[in-house]
Structure 1
Amino acid sequence: MGDGTPYMDGHMPPMHTHHGGSGGVLEILLPVLAMSACAGGYLLLVRRARRRNPVRGWNPWRTAGFCAGLLLLAAALLPPVATFAHRDFRGHMAQHMLIGMYAPLALVLGAPMTLALRALPAPRARRLSAFLHSGPARPLAHPVTGLLLSTGSLALLYFTPLYDAVTARPAGHWLLHAHFLLAGCLFAHAVAGPDPAPARPGVPARLVFLGCAIAVHASLAQLMYGGFLVAVDAPVPQVQGAAEIMYYGGDIAELLLAAALVATWRPGRGGVASNVVRLTP
């Protein structure tokens, strides 16, 4: 930061320069265009689903959830959060929480796959349904995959030189954002998503995986706050502030995920939890 505050290893930080020009314009324009395209595509599918089945229609709360997720993504990728994230590790952590935990939950609750199954022509819907039942898709729908990619990767990112290596270039920032978003969506979908997931375990197992995520998040945040094994090249107050954001922000996000799991749970026959969505439109 160049504010005279020493890093975790005691040495003084260098002065950082900020890049402007066309690169800054693209960093604003690209997220706006991407979020607008996603919102437009979702609303188009909603319109088609209502036309195909006017009686059943589409739950407006699903639409609100998906649009809220896009707004959270936009907030994370645009100033002032994005500007703060580029110059302060606390800003990066706030951005990580929005992209990797809060936005994915809202997007997943929008049930985009179910919407697509209802809105697409029958041949395309059957192909999508077949993919959701396919062998490659089943591991993606299991909570262990999302847990390893979303929570497990944090140890590799912040306790090895990987974070500094990845964020040294603009492309690395975008790859990191994409990883946070996809991993967060996979975990939220596997734990509490309303979309079809044939390989999704029962509610007790999902609660166990969610408990593991909470424990790992809390442990990593505590290690980061104490400066144990942290490999992030940032001043001590920034690292400690980021650890507090991870600890409390992660707790809130995971409580929301648990609430979503309870809200979407439907007891099946014999007391077995059922979270099945019809795979045909």
Structure 2
Amino acid sequence: MTPTDARNRTSRPARTSTASGPTSPSWLVTALPAAGLVALAALFAAGTFSGAFTAFANFTDPGAFVRWGAPVATVITELAVALTVGALALAAFVLPRGPLADRALGVAGVAAGVWTLAALVQLVLRFSWSWYLPLDAEGFGPALIEYVTTIPVGRTYLGIVIVAALTAAVALLVRGPVGALGTIALPLLALGMQSSTGHAAGAASHDVAISALFLHLGGAALWIGGLAAIAFVGLRHAATADVIRRYSKIALWCFAAVAVSGVVSAWVRIGSLDGLSTDYGVLLVVKAALLLVLGSLGYLHRSTVVARLSAATTTRNAAIGLFWRLAAVEVGVMGAVSGVAVALGSTAPPVPDDEIVDPTPAELVTGHPLPPEPTVLRWFTEFQWDVIVAFACAAAVLVYVRWTLRLRRRGDAWPVGRMISWCLGILVLFWATNGGAAAYGHVLFSAHMVQHMVLAMVVPLFLVLAAPVTLLLRAVPARKDDSRGPREWVLVLVHSAFGRFMANPVVAAVLFAGGMIVFYFTPLFELALTTYAGHLWMIVHFTLVGYLFANALVGVDPGPARPGYPLRLVLLFATMAFHAFFGVTLTSGTALLVPDWFGLMGRPWGPSAIEDQQKGGAVAWGIGELPTLLLAVGVAISWARSDAREAKRNDRKAERDGDAELEAYNEMLAKKASQAAQERDS
């Protein structure tokens, strides 16, 4: 028993009522393994319906154990990784620091251990099934080693096993919300790796399928795992109400992410409404119906339970009891969804995910058809969707507007111009990542440079002027139970040594300017072109570095120790000169960057690859100057306003003390003049 548990036991009355003991009922914890059985039952029913796990004619049958064991291992793997993610998220964002958060980390460690073993079994059985090689076949071991060392899918599954084992070790070692937040990156990395192995991985919709599947897996894992982790942690009434409120908000966002990504993934795989009549389509409809049931249960949570948590003790306890009853039903439905989802993933979709037949050079290089020759109109009508970024953009606008309305409802003012600036910045971000800049940025270096300049210089300027951190600190209430929500995490980051270092104007300027050299003249550029993860990192990096630089110059949010205005202008013009140098280097260069990409595009329109790269240098030089000029104007205006405010402060001070400072200065001058006169007379 820990000292904290001892204090709790001595400071609270004996368990004479339900208010003194754990509010995670033992029958709910028992219901969690039952949910696993429901998942297996749904898996067998769905698999039998679609025939996904039956032996194929003209192929060696690896055996019923392999055919059914692989999906069973997959169900266990997905439930274990969901519990891992959910427990880590609770420790990082929901539970107060102390025994509850440490218990959640312990749950995550154990779940990750189960995940590791299940993922290892899944790897072996999937290999046996996909290669039609029975487990006792001669040469099975060497073939398995070849699979995990030379075949991309095999390497991916082995990587997931390694990440799972690392997650288990780290989760059991770390403590506190910082440790939980750092650890949660590991299972998210594994989910990203898993999303690259799903349906449509080799089709023209590759990037859309990967981004949608990752959003789907991440949202489902956090949703399912968060609820299961709450039951396993074992809450007490003192913490239950706050935890339910916070989890309810997280679950709502997870439902939105799962719904949106599910619709996109379904459309990619069925192609048209006729595809709903296939086995895959029927299972898809069943899964959608189960998700609607989960959404209805979530609505009951928010409308019935959460609404009563601030009421009298009796009503609050009844609401908490209703939450646990609904949660028991919910985990059962979640188990059924997991089973159907695994069977769905093993069923052939109406739109096959085979490699593109007779691909064009552009399809061979990028995996996408070559877009038509760009025109002014097509820059705004062509799209290349990124589901994750599009969802993040929609969420960013919704959250900012809600926070603004929250301030106004309580009588606080928030400038309309800042809200407009935020919405414009997010709209430009959406266009740069999903519109014409994204569609042509994949095949034209000049278009890619447009995308870079917009992400690094235009979008951050709008976002900085919107003062999002200030809005968050004013609109989001502070937590008082030693847990960390968005407000607390932002304050920790702003005041940390790392945050101060990254926000330092000189550091931000070096990252902003020097980052271009590191990105374009190292393998990072090729990685951003050839992998979705690298592409997503590029978007986040350019936007974040641009935001830090703009915030150091004209921002109003708390954070960096901003230098004087003269030094800000020096940093700005030095950056402008570096941009010009970078642009001239590209404009006059004759060596093609990533020649295996841009040089093999096979475009029947537009300039040659090297001429287009030189055009991109002109873009970096020319387009970058306008935002820089706007920043310079902003610094100058801020400087003038600062001087005006200082003058007003001096005037008010002079009115209060009769201009004592000026009088003292005049007396000092008169005294010195008198002394000088006396010296001359002597």
Alignment TM-score, normalising by the size of structure 2: 0.35
- Aligned residue pair count: 253
Q: Does 1:101 align with 2:449?
A: no
Q: Report the counterpart of residue 275 of structure 1 in structure 2.
A: none
Give the AA of the match of 2:586: M
**Aligned with 2:432: secondary structure?**
helix
Which of 392, 399, 407 is 1:41 aligned to?
Answer: 399
Separation in 2, partners of 1:153, 1:228:
22
Distance 1:70-1:136 versus aligned 2 partners, 3 A rule? same
Deviation at 1:137, TM superposition (A): 2.2
Separation in 1, partners of 2:492, 2:518:
35
Q: Does 1:72 align with 2:446?
A: no
Distance 1:44-1:169 versus aligned 2 partners, 3 A rule? same
Q: Report the counterpart of residue 445 of structure 2 in structure 1.
A: 89
* Preserved contact between residue 113 and residue 195 of structure 1 (Cα < 8 Å): yes
Indicate the structure whose relative CO is greater, using CA pairs within 8 Å and at least 6 residues apart.
Answer: 1
Q: Does 1:119 align with 2:475?
A: yes
Alignment of 1:204-219 (within 5 A): 204-219=566-581
**Aligned with 1:136: secondary structure?**
helix
* Preserved contact between residue 362 and residue 368 of structure 2 (Cα < 8 Å): no
* Preserved contact between residue 442 and residue 529 of structure 2 (Cα < 8 Å): no
**Aligned with 1:167: secondary structure?**
helix
Render the CA deviation track for 1:100-132: whole Å, top value 9, x for unaligned: 110011011100011112112145767755653
Separation in 2, partners of 1:229, 1:149:
25
Give the AA of the match of 1:57: A
Alignment of 1:248-267 (within 5 A): 248-265=622-639, 266-267=642-643
Which of 199, 202, 205 is 2:564 aligned to?
Answer: 202
Which of 621, 639, 656 is 1:247 aligned to?
Answer: 621
Larger CA deviation: 256-265 vs 184-193: 256-265
Q: Does 1:187 align with 2:543?
A: no
Separation in 1, partners of 2:628, 2:420:
20
Give the AA of the match of 1:19: G
* Preserved contact between residue 100 and residue 183 of structure 1 (Cα < 8 Å): yes
Deviation at 1:264, TM superposition (A): 3.5
Which of 351, 367, 372 is 1:19 aligned to?
Answer: 367
Render the CA deviation track for 1:151-196: whole Å, top value 9, x for unaligned: 1111122233431243222221111111101111111111111112
Separation in 2, partners of 1:156, 1:230:
16
Distance 1:136-1:169 versus aligned 2 partners, 3 A rule? closer
CA RMSD of aligned residues (A): 2.6
Give the AA of the match of 1:188: A
Q: Does 1:51 align with 2:399?
A: no
Separation in 1, partners of 2:388, 2:516:
26
Distance 1:154-1:113 versus aligned 2 partners, 3 A rule? same
Deviation at 1:20, TM superposition (A): 5.3
Deviation at 1:95, TM superposition (A): 0.6
Distance 1:130-1:154 versus aligned 2 partners, 3 A rule? closer
Separation in 1, partners of 2:390, 2:519:
27
* Preserved contact between residue 432 and residue 454 of structure 2 (Cα < 8 Å): yes
Q: Which runs of 5+ in 1 are unaligned?
A: 1-13, 272-281
Alignment of 1:159-198 (within 5 A): 159-198=521-560
Distance 1:64-1:263 versus aligned 2 partners, 3 A rule? farther
Distance 1:142-1:230 versus aligned 2 partners, 3 A rule? farther
Q: Report the counterpart of residue 31 of structure 1 in structure 2.
A: 389
Give the AA of the match of 1:51: R
Render the CA deviation track for 1:188-210: whole Å, top value 9, x for unaligned: 11111111235221211111111
Separation in 2, partners of 1:163, 1:134:
31
Separation in 2, partners of 1:210, 1:68:
23
Q: Report the counterpart of residue 9 of structure 1 in structure 2.
A: none
Deviation at 1:45, TM superposition (A): 1.1
* Preserved contact between residue 70 and residue 103 of structure 1 (Cα < 8 Å): yes
Deviation at 1:230, TM superposition (A): 6.2
Give the AA of the match of 1:91: A
Render the CA deviation track for 1:251-270: whole Å, top value 9, x for unaligned: 01111111222333423648
Which of 208, 222, 225 is 2:584 aligned to?
Answer: 222
* Preserved contact between residue 147 and residue 187 of structure 1 (Cα < 8 Å): yes
Distance 1:270-1:104 versus aligned 2 partners, 3 A rule? same
- Identity, % of aligned positions: 34
Give the AA of the match of 1:247: W
Q: Which runs of 5+ in 2 are unaligned?
A: 1-359, 370-382, 480-484, 599-608, 649-682
Deviation at 1:26, TM superposition (A): 8.8
Distance 1:249-1:198 versus aligned 2 partners, 3 A rule? closer
Separation in 2, partners of 1:170, 1:57:
41
Alignment TM-score, normalising by the size of structure 1: 0.81
Render the CA deviation track for 1:59-79: whole Å, top value 9, x for unaligned: 000101111100110110113
Which is greater in Rg? 2
Separation in 2, partners of 1:240, 1:26:
25
Deviation at 1:27, TM superposition (A): 3.2
From the two aligned structures, give the one with the greater helix fraction: 2
Separation in 1, partners of 2:516, 2:579:
9
Separation in 2, partners of 1:178, 1:229:
28
Render the CA deviation track for 1:67-100: whole Å, top value 9, x for unaligned: 1100110110113221101111111011111111
Separation in 2, partners of 1:73, 1:110:
14
